[in-house]
Amino acid sequence: MISKILVPLDGSKYADKALDWALDLAEKYDASIELLTVIPLLQTFTTGEYSRHGNIPLLGPTPDELQERAENMLAEALTKAKKSRPDLRISTKILEGRPSEMIVQSAEKGHFDLIVMGSRGLGGVKEFFLGSVSDRVADEAKCPVVVVR
């Protein structure tokens, strides 16, 4: 039985398709949905540890800008979801860390029955070298993972 569905979002068109798929499934099973986005931490060159700032904060968006983008993206997704399926129970969450690890941990801690996510995200070249987030989640998650194309 499917009663809790985790839907990681990154703003990509594949994540949007995954949300649509999860909404249909949640409606059929009367399941709740949690929309999750992960703000990636930056790896420092000197220690190899991850932090909000890394060593080069001026080359990309600031941590506050990333937080604002995440909040806006989730608000838009929640509005879309509630508009199409007003009776569903839908929550949102923002985490910081390595996306695949945070998705897997969130699924375990939240006792989710299913993860529904897009096949490709906004990772670009980084995804090519590290493997895609969806591949890592599918390999490491303890619950079933549906990867939507």
State how far the alpha carbon of 53 is from the alpha carbons of 40, 45, 46, 93, in Å: 10, 11, 13, 21
Domain boundaries, the chain: 4-148
What is the topology classification, in CATH, of domain 4-148?
A: Rossmann fold (3.40.50)
Quick one: pLDDT at residue 93?
Answer: 98
Quick one: pLDDT at residue 52?
Answer: 56
Quick one: pLDDT at residue 65?
Answer: 87
Quick one: pLDDT at residue 59?
Answer: 55
Entry pTM: 0.85
Mean pLDDT by 10 residues, the chain (149 residues): 96 94 97 96 53 52 86 97 97 95 98 94 48 88 95
Quick one: pLDDT at residue 100?
Answer: 95
